[in-house]
Amino acid sequence: MSCNVEKNIKISNHTDLPKAIGPYSHSTSYDNLIFVSGQIGLDKNTNSLKNGIEEQTVQIMENLKIILQNNQSDLQHITKTTIFLTDMKNFETINQIYGRYFHGRFPARSTIEVVSLPRNAEVEIECIAVKR
C-alpha cells in the first residue's frame, strides 16, 4: 500500500510578499499544520532588505502575519519559532520587538547564532503554526 501524504501537502500562493529568493515555498501546510520558511526582512514593495535589526525584525513579523493569514491562521496560532541571528548581541532588541506581536501566550522558541544569512540579513525567523 502506498502513502498519499504528498497529495495532502498544500503550497500557498503568497502574491503579496517578496518573491522567494531560492527554490522553496514561503509556506506549506498539511492538515491543520502550517510550516513557514525562514523569513528575512525583505520589503514586499521594493524586494530589498530593510536597514538594521529593528526594521528587519518588524518586517519579518509583518510578513509572517501575511503568510499566516493566507493560511487561515495568525500569530496567536504559532506553536514554534526558530530565530537565526548573526550577532547574539541583538538578542534583547529582537526580544522586545518579537514580544509586541504576541499577547498572553508565547510560542516555543529556539534562537541560534549563525555566521551569515541570505542577502546579509541580520535576522531570520521561521515558524510552525496551526490553522484557526
Structure pTM? 0.93
Place of cell 492538515: 31
What does the pLDDT profile of the chain (132 residues) look like in tens digits? 456 656 689 998 788 888 888 889 999 999 999 999 999 999 988 999 999 999 999 999 999 999 999 999 999 999 999 999 999 999 999 999 999 999 889 999 999 999 999 999 999 999 999 999
Closest CA to 57 of 104, 105, 128, 125: 125
Q: How far is residue 123's CA from residue 3's CA, in Å, rounded to a whole number?
A: 37
pLDDT value for 13 = 76
For the segment(s) 13-130, the CATH number from 3.90.1150.10, 3.40.109.10, 3.30.1330.40, 3.30.450.40 is 3.30.1330.40
φ, ψ dihedrals at 57, nearest 5°: -65, -45
- For 56-122, where are the E strands, in sequence order? 78-85, 108-113
Q: Where are the domains of the chain?
A: 13-130
What's the pLDDT at 5?
59
At 21 the pLDDT is 84
DSSP, collapsed to helix, strand or coil, labels residue 81 as strand
- Residues 34 and 57: beta-carbon distance below 8 Å: no
